[in-house]
Amino acid sequence: MISVRNLKKNFGSNKVLRGIDFTLKDGEKVIVLGPSGSGKSTFLRCINRIEEPTTGEIYLDDTLITDKNIEKIRQDIGMVFQHFNLINNLTVMKNLTLAPVILKLMSEEEAEKKAKGLLRHIGLLDKVDAFPASLSGGQKQRVAIIRAMMMEPKVLLFDEPTSALDPESIGDVLALIHELADEGMTIMIVTHEMNFAKEVGTRIVFIDEGKIIEEGTPIEFFEHPKTPRVKEFLKKVL
Amino acid sequence: MEEFFSKLVELFSTPEYIDSLWHGFLLTLEIAFFAILIGFLLGTIIALVDTAKPSAWLAVPKFICRIYVTIIRGTPMALQLFIMFFVIFAIRGFPQIVTAILAFGFNSAAYTAEIIRGGILSVDKGQTEAGLALGLPRMVIFKKIVAPQAIKNIIPALGNEVITVIKETAIVSMVGMYDLNMAAKDIGSGQNMSSYVVPMFTAALFYLAVVYLISFIIKRVEKGLRKSDLRAES
Ligand SMILES: Nc1ncnc2c1ncn2[C@@H]1O[C@H](COP(=O)(O)OP(=O)(O)O)[C@@H](O)[C@H]1O
Ligand SMILES: [Mg+2]
């Protein structure tokens, strides 16, 4: 699905990613862990080239995304942000239908029908004409997730989707992601929710100082960590 | 006081004076209107170049825009006016009004560019990133997402700029143009000191009336924009 070769990213003289090799297979749910500032967000953002990689190659299936028309490829890579990033000047409905309609993936009627179906599913059909400012954090994030789903992406990237939420809404958002995972969606998620990681993750990837220093199944990772760095990290978070 | 009223009566009963004030007023409006138009168009272009994603072919235009804004904002308007009149357009027979319009237009462009640039940059980067992640082209993101949000921040400051330009045009009297300011001085001159009072206060009222009208319009527009915010919060 996604394969990343020797990905490096510098911000000026700050070497944030120092050579990442990674593959994501169909249906996998990869949890990305690592200390703050280790480059997790940058890694995710390079995959859809919201951040331009300095060097390295990224493939989506067999397409080298680092030289192809990225806008087309982004339609297949959904992204959910920590701060939701719903479009403030558009209603919930418009947030959901804007991209698929403009990009001619579906007609306006089809898009609205699909949007209503998804909204009903997450219990927010009554917010269809509301503006984002009137939604709670948890509601915003769930709308952001179905906005990504509207595009019928091949993979969904989540960058700390619950870090900006109050404790009550975290559960709702995690439940929705869990459900997508169960439906077979290919997922990559940066999170600090360790229980969620254990439960939903098929593989854990640990990034430190811009490199993947350890990866494995949740059991391997949490029960039998190999590197001292991960042992130390787990001691702090568990 | 009696003298004040007699002067007032004199001003409004002498068609010549009224005519002078009226013509001065029209010239002021004409210069301001076209200068604001040029300032808005040129300022928008500068702001778009300035805020566009950096790329090789935009490097030089971006640099030119920065220099332009720096020079215009760093030198007095009166000096810019003199340079336009006595250096750049020191051509015999070249219409003064065109020179004046260009001088104020080029000046206003720099300030308008900064206002629009600030408005665009004040929109959260996450808004653009959301659009990018959905696969939308940058043009669409600007049109549908960034611009509508930027406008809310731009309108009030732009209103101030319009008012500033209208008042600032008064310095064309320094190059001998017969605007509202000059008309007031002309009507008052050649008599004793007190004769200045009435025409100058009258000119002030003309300026005030226009500024008030524009403030009123801007407030209305702002109120309209806020309404969509309230709707957003309800
Ligand atoms: N746009 C940027 N410009 C400059 N430095 C950045 C930018 N984005 C991230 N960084 C730097 O890259 C490093 C890694 O950031 P990030 O990928 O956000 O880490 P994480 O998500 O793991 O906390 C940090 O040192 C951060 O300051
Ligand atoms: Mg991060």
Name chain A contacts of B234, Cβ cutoff 8 Å: 134
Counting as low any pLDDT under 70, the low residues of chain A are none
Q: Which of A73, A102, A75, A77 is nearest to A90 (CA)?
A: A102
Mutate to test the interface with A, among B124, B134, B152 (most CBs of A within 10 A): B134
CA of A38 to the centre of ligand 1 (A): 8
CA of A40 to the centre of ligand 2 (A): 6
pLDDT in tens, B16-49: 888 888 999 999 999 999 999 999 999 999 999 9
Q: Whose CA is nearest to atom 20 of ligand 1?
A: A37
Indicate the pLDDT class of residue B6, thresholds 50, 70 and 90: confident
H and E: helices and strands count for chain A: 9, 10
Q: What is the structure's pLDDT at B234? A: 39
pLDDT-above-90 percentage for chain B: 64
The pairing of beta strand A29-33 with beta strand A203-208 = parallel
Mean pLDDT of B65-69: 97
Task: Indicate the residue type of A73.
Answer: I
CB distance A32 to ligand 1 below 6 Å = no
Q: Which of B102, B42, B110, B105 is nearest to B75 (CA)?
A: B110
Residue B23, domain CATH: 1.10.3720.10
CB distance A11 to ligand 1 below 6 Å = yes
Q: Which of A219, A183, A181 is nearest to A29 (CA)?
A: A181
Chains A & B: contacts with CB separation below 8 Å? 76
Decide if A99 touches B, using CB distance below 8 A: yes
CA distance A230 to chain B (A): 31
CA distance B108 to B110: 5
Provide φ and ψ at B229, rounded to 5°. Answer: -70, -45
How open is the CA angle B137-B139-B144, to the nearest 5 degrees? 95
Q: What is the CA radius of gyration of chain A?
A: 18
Q: Which helix (H) or strand (E) holds B117?
A: helix B96-121
* Contact at CB, A148 and B129, closer than 8 angstroms: no
Q: Name which of A77, A102, A133 is nearest B140 (Cβ-Cβ).
A: A102
pLDDT-above-70 percentage for chain B: 94
CA distance A95 to B139: 17
Alpha carbon dihedral B24, B27, B31, B36, in 10-degree steps, equals 80
Higher pLDDT, B143 or B187: B143
* Contact at CB, A98 and B231, closer than 8 angstroms: no
CA distance A233 to B78: 65
Q: What is the structure's pLDDT at B230? A: 52
Q: What is the structure's pLDDT at B191? A: 63
Q: What is the structure's pLDDT at B227? A: 66
Structural domain span for residue B121: 2-233
* Contact at CB, B130 and A132, closer than 8 angstroms: no
Check: CB of residue A153 under 8 Å from CB of residue A180. no
The ligand whose atoms approach the alpha carbon of A82 most closely is 2
CA distance B202 to B180: 10
CA distance B157 to B152: 10
CA distance B232 to chain A (A): 5
Q: What is the structure's pLDDT at B181? A: 86
To test the ligand 1 pocket, which listed residue (A33, A42, A83) has its Cβ within 8 A of the most ligand atoms? Answer: A42
DSSP structure class, residue B193: G
Q: What is the structure's pLDDT at B193? A: 54
Q: What is the structure's pLDDT at B194? A: 59
How many other β-carbons are positioned within 10 Å of the β-carbon of residue A224? 10
Cα–Cα distances in angstroms (integers) from residue A34 to residues A76, A177, B85, in the given order: 26, 20, 65
* Contact at CB, A85 and B134, closer than 8 angstroms: no
Q: Identify residues of B whose CB sits under 8 angstroms from chain A CBs.
A: 124, 126-127, 129-137, 140, 144-145, 148-149, 228-229, 231-234
Check: CB of residue A169 under 8 Å from CB of residue A137. yes
| pTM over cut 0.95 | no
Q: What is the structure's pLDDT at A118? A: 97
CB distance A40 to ligand 1 below 6 Å = yes
Q: Name which of A79, A98, A133 is nearest B133 (Cβ-Cβ).
A: A79
Question: How many domains are contained in chain B?
Answer: 1
DSSP structure class, residue A38: S
CA distance A135 to chain B (A): 8
CB distance A34 to ligand 1 below 6 Å = yes
CA distance A184 to chain B (A): 21
Residues 6 or more apart in contact with residue A199 via CB below 8 angstroms: A178
Task: Indicate the residue type of B159.
Answer: G
Residues within 5 A (CB) of ion ligand 2 = A 41
CA of A209 to the centre of ligand 1 (A): 11
CA distance B234 to chain A (A): 6
pLDDT in tens, B171-192: 999 988 888 888 888 888 766 5
Task: ipTM value, please give it.
Answer: 0.94
* Contact at CB, A131 and B231, closer than 8 angstroms: yes
Query: How many Cα atoms within 13 Å fall on the side-chain side of residue A63?
Result: 13
Q: Whose CA is nearest to atom 3 of ligand 1?
A: A11
Phi/psi region, residue A237 (left: phi>0; alpha: psi -120 to 50; beta: rest), is alpha
pLDDT in tens, B113-136: 999 999 999 999 999 999 999 999
Which stretches within chain A are classed as H helix? 40-47, 70-74, 92-102, 108-121, 137-150, 167-182, 194-200, 218-223, 228-237
Q: What is the structure's pLDDT at B153? A: 87
Check: CB of residue A25 under 8 Å from CB of residue A183. no
Residue A31's SS3 state is strand
Q: What is the CA radius of gyration of chain B?
A: 22
What are all long-range contacts of B64-67, with beta carbons under 8 Å and residues at least 24 apart? B65/B113
Q: At what angle do helices A137-150 and A92-102 cross, to 10 degrees?
A: 20
The DSSP result for A168-193, as a single string, is HHHHHHHHHHHHHHHTT-EEEEE---
Query: How high does pLDDT run on average in chain B?
Result: 89
Q: What is the structure's pLDDT at B40? A: 97
